[in-house]
Each structure stands twice: as C-alpha cells, then as structure tokens.
Amino acid sequence: MLEVSLGPGLLSHNYDGLLNDLDTMTGIFLKRGEYTETLDAKKKWDFKPLAKPGDAVVAGDWLGEVDENGIAHRIMVPFKLEGQFTVKSVTEAGQYAANETIATILDKNGEQIAVTMTQRWPVKKAIKAYRNKPRPFKLLETGVRVIDTLNPIVEGGTGFIPGPFGSGKTVMQQAISKQAEADIVIMAACGERANEVVELFTEFPELDDPWTGRKLMERTTIIANTSNMPVAAREASVYSAMTIAEYYRSMGHKVLMLADSTSRWAQALREMSNRMEELPGPDAFPMDLPAIVSNFYARAGIVYLNNGQTGSITFIGTVSPAGGNLKEPVTEATKKATRCFYALSQQRADSKRYPAIDPIDSYSKYLEYPELQKTLAETISPEWTGHVNRLKNIMIRGKEAAEQINILGDDSVSVDYHLTFWKSEIVDAVLLQQDAFDAIDARTPLQRQRYMVDLLLEIIDTPLHFDGFEDVQPFYKKLIDKLRQMNYSPFASEAFQNYRKELREMISERTAVG
Amino acid sequence: METKALQRIYTKIGQITKATCTLKATDVGYEELALVDGRPAQVVKIVGDDVTLQVFSGTEGIRTNAEVVFAGKPPTLKVGDELAGRFFNAYGDPIDGGSKIEGEERDIGGPSVNPVRRKQPSELIATGIAGIDLNNSLVTGQKIPFFADPDQPYNQVMAMVALRAEADKIILGGMGLTNDDYLFFKDIFENAGALHRIISFVNTTEDPPVERLLVPDMALTAAEYFAVDKKEKVLVLLTDMTLYADALSIVSNRMDQIPSKDSMPGSLYSDLARLYEKAVQFADGGSITIIAVTTLSGGDITHAIPDNTGYITEGQLFLRRDTEIGKVIIDPFRSLSRLKQLVIGKKTREDHPQVMNAAIRLYADAANARTKLENGFDLTEYDKRTLDFAKAYSDKLLAIDVNIGTTEMLDTAWGLFAKHFSPAEVAVKKEFVEKYWK
C-alpha cells in the first residue's frame, strides 16, 4: 500500500499527489521517474518534551512538540503501533532533525521502540488515534455570508459544492480557504487547472491569515496534482491530503480540507478501473463508487482525543457534474455522503450574482442539529436560528411572487406581490451576493453578518406605502444601492454610518406617506 | 517517414482488423511508428510478443505477407528556427514543397511543466474586440476555446485575434480542416505579411482522421521549442478540437475500451487536459497561449466534448448573431475568461471590473424586458431604457467588428450609462461614478 512520511515540515510546502516536494525538483519539466523527499531531513526543529518516563501511552499520544510556523506540532506515538506502551525516556529540549530519535518506549514485553519525529502511514487507511467522534456542534466561520448565515458549515462537518463550469466553484473554495477560521488548511488540487494552483502558490505567501496575522502559506499545505499529471497519482492525491489532515487533527488542531475537484478523482478511479478491465457501473464509473466516496467523506469529523482535547477535519469537496446534470453518479454519491449542499446555479452565474450559491436548493443539515442551535444561540443571538429560517422563507416567497408577476404581468397583481419580490431581492443583493474581489466585502465577520441580518429584517418588517407598482422598483433599487455601499465600507466607519442614516431617512419618508 | 538501412523487416502478419494488424515482433516500444506495406502506422498495444499496430489510413488491401518496418522511435519533430513560415502534415513533413527541416529531433507530447516553475499569467492580450477585451480579457499563458456552431465564423474571428495579438510566433494546428479553410488561413496570414512568424501543422479532411491525433502534439512541441528555448510569446491555434476528440473515440473503440458518456473514451478529460495544460507562462518571459475551437452540435454544451473542455480551459467564448443589429457579437452571458481577474483593473483602468459587471447586469435586465415583451406585457419606462441601452451596447461594444483600445471601451460604456440610466440604477462604487460619469 502507498505510504507517506508524516512529520514536522509538511506545512507551507507544495507536493504532488504522492507527496514529492515539487520545489526541490530540478528543471522546468517533471522528469519521468524523479522522486523527492517529503520532509527536509536537514532542518533542525526546536523540540520540547511533553511526556515523562513512566507515562502509559497508546498510538497518537503526544510525546513532545516542536514549533512549526507558530503551530504546535505534536510528536506522537506512531499510529501504526498497537496496544499499550510505557515511556522509557524522552530527550531533553533542544534542536533535533526530523529523523533523530526523540523518545524510547517499551511495549508490554519490555521491547524497546525508538520514536523519531517522522512516521509513515498508508494513505488509504483512516488514522483512528482518538477516543470518540461526537456530532459536530460548533460553527466554522468562513466570512462568506451565504454560508455562515444561511447554510452554515461546522467544525468537523462535510460539504460539497457541485456546479457547472464557470459557476464559480474554485473562486468559492479559494475564498473559504483564505478566510476560514482554521488552524491548518490542506488544499488538494486534484486534476484541475495548473494556473489555478499557480494562483495559490503566488497569492498565499503574500496574503495574511485574518485570524493570526501570519502569512496564509504558513498554515497551508498544497497538494497539486494538476490535470496533466499522472492519473494514478491523481487518485492518490486526495488520500494523501486526507492523511495529512488526520495527522494534524491528532495534534488537536482545527483542520480545513478542500478538494478541487472530487469528480476528477472519481474519473481517475474510472480510468483505472477501465484499464483493469472491470465491468463498469453507471456512466462507466466503477460499481463501488458510492461506497468509496462515502468512506472517504467519513474520514472527516470532530474528535475527542485520548487526552480529552478536540481536533477536527472539516471537509468541503467540489464536484464538477458532467453537463451540469446533478443526477450523474459522482454528484449523487456525494450528496448521500455529505451534510451541506452548496448548489451553484448557472442562472445566477449568468446574471453575475456571485457567489452563485442557490439560496433555495442549497441546505445545511447542521442547522437542524440541536447541538448547533444551542451554540448559535449562545454565541450569536438567541433568535438566530429563527432569523435564518425567516430569511429562507423570504427567498422562497420572493421566488413565488416573481413567478406570479411573470405569468400575470406587472399591473395584474397587487402591489404586495411586488413588495414580496423586492424584499427577497434585498436579501439576495445585500446578504447573498458578495464581491470576492473587494478587499472589504470579500470577508464579513460573524458580528457584521448579525448586524446586517438584523438591519435587513428591520427594513423588511417596516410597513411601507406605495401608490402603485411603478414606485416599488426605483425605491428598492436605491435601497439596495445604499446597502451595497455599506457592504463596501469598513464596518461601523463614518461612511458606513452615513449610508445607514440615509437608509433610515429613505424608509421614514415611505412610512410617513401612509 | 523513411526506411533506413539495417532495419528488421517483418513479413508475417497474424491478424488483421479494419484498422489494426497484429504480428509477432520483439524490441518494440509503445507508440512507436512503423510502416505497414508503406502505410504509416503506430504501436497501440503490446501483449508479450504480440504487437498491435494501428494503420492510420486503414488496412484495406494489406496482405498477411506485407512488409512491416518499425521506425524504432515514437513520433518526433525536428525543431529549429527554420520551422517559421512553413506548412507541415501530421507527421511533421513539409507539405508546401519546401525542403526538409534540419534540427534537433524531439519526441512529441513531452513531459508536463512542474507547477511550481510556472508563473502566474499577468500580461493582457489586447485584441481590440470589446466583447473580448472588455468582458473577457485574454491573458498570456491562458487556454480558451470558442464554442461555436459549425455555421459561425469562428475561424475568421480566431485568425483576427491571432493577427492582432502581437505574438512572436503563431502556430496553427488544423485538424480535419477543409481544404477551403486551410487556404483561408494561408491567404489571410500571407496577406497580413505575417507568414514569417507562422507555423502550420495541418490535417485536412482528405487525410485519414486518426492521423490528426498527432497534430496538437506536433504544434505544441514546436510551441515549447520557441517558448522555452527562445523565450518567445507563442500563440497556438487549434481547430477543430471536436474532430480531435472524435478521432480519440475511434481509436478507443478499436481498442475495445468501454465507452463512457456520448461514446467518448473514459479518459477524455485527461486526454484533452494533457494538451490544453501545455499553455503556460514561464518566469523568463516565454509563454504558450492556446486558443482553440470546439464545434457544438446545435449549441449543446452538455455533450461530453464541450463539457470536459469547459472544465479544463480557462473560460470559453461564444459567438451569437444579434438580430437587433444584424451583426455577430461575443455573447456576454455565456462567455467567460477566468484569468481576466489577473489583469482587469490592474493592467487596465481601475474602473474596468465594475463597469464590466454593471453593463452585463443591465444587459440582463434588457433580456428580461424582452421576455416580457414577447409574452405580451407592457414595459415599464425602465424596461424601455434597458432595451435602448442593450441595442447600443451590442452595436458599439459587443460586435466583433469593433477595434478600439480598452480605455476607449470603458469611456464608451460610461457614455452609454449616462445616456440611458441614473447612477443609482448603474450601482457602481461611488468614487468611480464621481470620476468617470459623463
């Protein structure tokens, strides 16, 4: 089975699907048969012991730690070791290379086992060095409003983003990777465009992590197996990425893993199954595709480690459905395996309503979890879940009203229909649409999202008077313009407050009429 | 391809199908070229001593005792500066009556570029066509196809883009090109006085279809020579990739592979990606940009070929005939250049992204108004204005006969906004409105 090396120095590196370090390869082209080491054997790490002689340990328990780009990288009892062990000795604090022995442990027969900072693990097996895996209960903030507010992803949750090409899957994933509240981000660029990976290589060393102020690259590992690299390595790349994610989860970190795109992985499975002359299933994919997909997503999750601390892997994959048809095998298999569904709609993308996440088709099953509702009530506001459901209803009613108006005509329906429609348009324009390329609008912290939701609901709940439907559109267009300018202004800045004031005046003029 | 002295000649063919023949041979490599009874062929399968050759032009008339000569190497191309200005067939042999190329011999379809050695594309390719430069700016190192129905003037638009793009070399890979189209390209390049920077690899409809599988690799091997060795800006034109994919499906069918969607091989995505991913920007200035054509049947982009292409390329361009103005335009809704974010507002004026989005949003409003009109409803005053705007926008900016600079395009757009709308309806950042509203 394919094994990879795990140890300090994985972060801020760029690997291919088999964890060859791409930066240490020579020449412009990837030469056939060229392999490079995953970890830098020469680099010395600042080691601090955590365990003491006599401690009883099992696989995954922490023996010591080193500082890796400001992140506590725990050195663990190798995952491969089964049963109980006793610590015989741990070296004192100091500088050590990744393959030097830092501890000796004894098995129950008294045999000595030397532990280094490096260990090897077969990528297709899940690392299960934890006590238990509870249901997820904590929101993972991404700064993307349509996710955080309407379809929240949670620490240890799974989600997927299906969408036809050009609907913004990759921009969406990159926004999440830049902004999410995670300690570690593992990006698997699996069979996608090389220029997109280059974008990550170029931008991440420059961008600041909004949570720590360090560079984004320092918390990130990129597995780049682009579409022109070998198919077998593409198949392995998502497993390699997941193994690294599990490795850091065992250290008690919050890991975010992204795979773009899992359809390419499924296609690699298809090409290999075809070459092995297996009988094909639907669309020539292997028969056990749904099982493979759900097994893979099951490796994510939040866990309580043996020492009581938590660690999590939140996994979001993109799916590129052939022909944009969500009934194809990869989408269907993924839908069964994940709990959040971010449907990207071609129609929204065509009218440049980005992110093109469909507000009505998309869902987050986690919103129904009482565990999550409880933490949302505690951390945001007690009415939060109610607000979110109201917003969803406003979107659905707006869509129904729009259909009625289209069928019957502007003047054959009552003004109320127009109001219902325009209320959903405000939510759409101000909350759902977000400019990923604007420095301020790109990331909305939770507190600001709460403010905007309260503001929008206040506007929607204020009864307004219009003489005829002709007045509705200009008024709401102006309202949306003001709200958008608020989105572009720094939170609570003078400009922001001014727009807020202008909004109030606009609304009070309308209420005064009636 | 020629026979050389001291080559082993086989004369015992064991099995012949419509397109392949199998014989016992040793010391033969995969994808190696051969001559079967004087016809070019390629090794497609090796099982023990049994070697299966695909005869490009078919096996009709080949006898079991025909002579088989192996070339001892996979297809290669001799590269050198002499390539410029010449026309070649799918094997890299001259078809313009000129002399053979002397130069370094390279295997075609070489290895991939290490992604960390690439540079992020950042150089705008100006074409003067506002439907491209304003809404879907192209960047060096990009790969982008035209998705077009066979009756649309895609080859003309592509030739226009190529000639205006100021590339050091233009390499044409023609697959299943009709003789008329081949002569069209030849004439237009000659008339533009650009022949010295153009290299063509052409497989016409008169040649065996499977031969065209070699064309893109030939073109891209030549492109890599100029981009890597000579650090030049190379533009590769591939037309028509649908015919290339059709040839792939023929081969996969002959190889008894299980077809996936639309009778295409399951590896279609990887096969196409291998070619398109040759588009690259190098750190030292050399680059390969690929503009391709994928013909659609009846505008269906869910067919496996355009669908897989769309997932590989960095956007796609659609042509559409606008009946309001009677011209062909670049469709602003369906067209997309993914790399435009790297240059717009950076290499072009700061207001570019917002102006582009606002114009398209208003154009979408016009499309809604048109639907209303078709359904027999009254239009609001705003609807009427959007329709007027859409017509002017289509004529002054989207039409393919426009040839102006980007700053002029932006000014034109602001002019249209001011003529038809109020600033609140356009909804662009206030600082830009203050600066550019006319």
Q: A224 and B119: CB-CB below 8 Å?
A: no
Can you tell me which residue has the tokens 């190497």? B73
Q: How many angstroms away from the CA of B370 is the closest CA of chain A?
A: 12
Q: How many angstroms away from the CA of B268 is the closest CA of chain A?
A: 10
Instruction: Please name the member of B277, B357, B380 whose beta carbon is closest to the beta carbon of A194.
Output: B277
Any long-range contacts for B184-191 (C-beta under 8 Å, 24+ apart)? B184/B155, B184/B156, B184/B159, B185/B155, B185/B159, B186/B87, B188/B159, B188/B163, B189/B159, B189/B163
A495 touches chain B (CB under 8 A): no
Mutate one of B252, B269, B282, B379 to test the A interface: name it (highest A CB count within 10 A): B269
Residues A144-169 have a mean pLDDT of 92
Average pLDDT value for chain B: 91
A291 touches chain B (CB under 8 A): no
Name the β-bridge partners of A315: A158, A257
> What is the DSSP pairing of strand A254-260 with strand A310-319?
parallel
Tens digit of each residue's pLDDT (9 = 90 or more) over A334-377:
999 999 999 998 888 877 788 999 999 999 999 999 999 999 99
| Contacts with A406 from chain B: Cβ below 8 Å | 371-372, 375
Q: What SS3 class is residue A207?
A: coil
Determine the pLDDT at residue A512: 64
Instruction: Please name the member of A29, A201, A473 whose beta carbon is closest to the beta carbon of B113.
Output: A29
Determine the pLDDT at residue B356: 93
Determine the pLDDT at residue B5: 55
Specify the fold of B76-107+140-313: Rossmann fold (3.40.50)
Instruction: Please name the member of B116, B258, B334 whose beta carbon is closest to the beta carbon of A22.
Output: B116
Residues B151-175 have a mean pLDDT of 91
> Cα separation of B84 and B417, whole Å?
46
Q: A320 and B311: CB-CB below 8 Å?
A: yes
Q: B261 and A283: CB-CB below 8 Å?
A: yes
Determine the pLDDT at residue A276: 83
Name the β-bridge partners of B43: B53
Compute CA B80 distance to the chain's CA centroid, rounded to the nearest angstrom: 23
A207 touches chain B (CB under 8 A): no
Instruction: Please name the member of A264, A270, A478 whose beta carbon is closest to the beta carbon of B260.
Output: A270
> Cα separation of A62 and A47, whole Å?
12
**Alpha-carbon torsion, ordered A298, A304, A305, A307, to 10 deg:** -170
> What is the reported pTM?
0.89
Residues B308-331 have a mean pLDDT of 92
Res. A204: pLDDT tops 90: no
Q: How far is CA A366 from CA A149, A302, A387, A465, in A?
A: 12, 13, 16, 39
Q: A274 and B303: CB-CB below 8 Å?
A: no
| Contacts with B229 from chain A: Cβ below 8 Å | none
Tens digit of each residue's pLDDT (9 = 90 or more) over A410-434:
888 999 999 999 999 999 999 999 9
Whether the Cβ atoms of residue A129 and residue A60 lie closer than 8 Å to each other: yes
Q: Which residue of A has its CA nearest to B267?
A: A271
Instruction: Please name the member of B116, B120, B425 whose beta carbon is closest to the beta carbon of A199.
Output: B120
Percent of chain B with pLDDT over 90: 68
Q: A470 and B301: CB-CB below 8 Å?
A: no
Short-list B14, B19, B81, CA closest to B49: B14
- Element at A68 (helix H, strand E): strand A62-68
Within 10 angstroms of residue B116's Cβ, the number of other Cβ atoms is: 17
Tell me which CATH code domain B9-70 carries.
2.40.30.20
Res. A153: pLDDT tops 70: yes
> Cα separation of B324 and B333, whole Å?
17
Whether the bond between A261 and the residue before it is cis, its omega within 30 degrees of 0, is yes
Q: B302 and A322: CB-CB below 8 Å?
A: yes
Q: A228 and B361: CB-CB below 8 Å?
A: no
| Contacts with B339 from chain A: Cβ below 8 Å | 195
| Contacts with B371 from chain A: Cβ below 8 Å | 406
Mutate one of A32, A167, A195, A276 to test the B interface: name it (highest B CB count within 10 A): A195
- Element at A415 (helix H, strand E): helix A415-426
| Contacts with B31 from chain A: Cβ below 8 Å | none
Q: How many angstroms away from the CA of A164 is the closest CA of chain B?
A: 8
Q: Is the dihedral of CA B305, B311, B312, B315 positive or negative?
A: positive
Which burial class, exposed, middle or buried, applies to A466 when counting CB atoms under 10 A from its CB (0-12, 13-18, 19+)? middle
Determine the pLDDT at residue A173: 87
Which pair of structure tokens corresponds to residue B171?
């390499």
Q: A224 and B310: CB-CB below 8 Å?
A: no
Determine the pLDDT at residue A4: 95
Determine the pLDDT at residue B427: 84
Residues A91-110 have a mean pLDDT of 94
Percent of chain A with pLDDT over 70: 99
A410 touches chain B (CB under 8 A): yes
> Cα separation of B333 and B301, whole Å?
14
| Contacts with B117 from chain A: Cβ below 8 Å | 27-28
Degrees (nearest 5) of the Cα angle A404, A409, A412? 90
Compute CA A447 distance to the chain's CA centroid, rounded to the nearest angstrom: 20
Whether the Cβ atoms of residue A174 and residue A407 lie closer than 8 Å to each other: no
| Contacts with A23 from chain B: Cβ below 8 Å | 116
Average pLDDT value for chain A: 93
Q: Which residue of B has its CA nearest to A189?
A: B115
> Cα separation of A239 and A123, whole Å?
5
Give the 3-state DSSP-derived string for chain B, with helices as H, strands as E and coil as C.
CCCCCCCCEECCEEEECCCEEEEECCCCCCCCEEEECCEEEEEEEEECCEEEEEECCCCCCCCCCCCEEECCCCCEEEECHHHCCCEECCCCCECCCCCCCCCEEEECCCCCECHHHECCCCCEECCCCHHHHCCCCEECCCEEEEEECCCCCHHHHHHHHHHHCCCCEEEEEEEEECHHHHHHHHHHHHHCCCHHHEEEEEEECCCCHHHHHHHHHHHHHHHHHHHHHCCCEEEEEEECHHHHHHHHHHHHHHCCCCECHHHCECCHHHHHHHHHCCCEEECCCCEEEEEEEEECCCCCCCCHHHHHHHHHCCEEEEEEEECCCCEEEECCCCCEEHHHHHCCCCCCCCCHHHHHHHHHHHHHHHHHHHHHHHCCCCCCHHHHHHHHHHHHHHHHHHECCCCCCHHHHHHHHHHHHHHHCCHHHHCCCHHHHHHHCC
Residues A112-128 have a mean pLDDT of 95
Which pair of structure tokens corresponds to residue A338?
């994940």
| Contacts with A350 from chain B: Cβ below 8 Å | 333-334, 364
| Contacts with A355 from chain B: Cβ below 8 Å | none
A352 touches chain B (CB under 8 A): yes
Determine the pLDDT at residue A513: 55
Tens digit of each residue's pLDDT (9 = 90 or more) over A261-318:
899 999 999 888 888 888 888 888 999 999 999 999 999 999 999 999 999 999 999 9
Q: How many angstroms away from the CA of A409 is the closest CA of chain B?
A: 6
Instruction: Please name the member of A31, A224, A437 whose beta carbon is closest to the beta carbon of B111.
Output: A31
Short-list A411, A485, A425, CA closest to A456: A425
Which pair of structure tokens corresponds to residue B274?
């291998």
Short-list B204, B183, B186, CA closest to B195: B186
Rg (CA), chain A: 26
Q: B377 and A191: CB-CB below 8 Å?
A: no
A1 touches chain B (CB under 8 A): no
Mutate one of A16, A21, A28 to test the B interface: name it (highest B CB count within 10 A): A28
Residues A113-137 have a mean pLDDT of 95
Mutate one of A13, A31, A36, A165 to test the B interface: name it (highest B CB count within 10 A): A165
Cβ-proximal residues to A217 (8 Å cutoff; 6+ apart), any chain: A12, A204, A205, A207
Which burial class, exposed, middle or buried, applies to A440 when counting CB atoms under 10 A from its CB (0-12, 13-18, 19+)? middle
> Cα separation of B425 and B433, whole Å?
12
Tens digit of each residue's pLDDT (9 = 90 or more) over B241-256:
999 999 999 888 887 7
> Cα separation of A475 and B172, whole Å?
54
Domain ranges of chain B: 9-70, 76-107+140-313, 352-436
> Cα separation of B276 and B220, whole Å?
9
Which pair of structure tokens corresponds to residue B179?
């003789």
Res. A409: pLDDT tops 90: no
Confidence of residue A514 (pLDDT cuts 50, 70, 90): very low
Q: What SS3 class is residue A62?
A: strand
In A77-153, DSSP assigns E strands to 85-90, 94-97, 101-106, 112-116, 119-122
Q: How many angstroms away from the CA of B194 is the closest CA of chain A?
A: 30
Task: For each of the domains in chain A, give its residue range(s) and CATH number, in order of start.
Answer: 41-119 (2.40.50.100), 145-361 (3.40.50.300), 384-513 (1.10.1140.10)
Which pair of structure tokens corresponds to residue B390?
């859409």
Q: A480 and B427: CB-CB below 8 Å?
A: yes
Q: What is the ipTM of this complex?
A: 0.84
Q: Is the dihedral of CA A224, A230, A235, A240 positive or negative?
A: negative
Confidence of residue B3 (pLDDT cuts 50, 70, 90): low
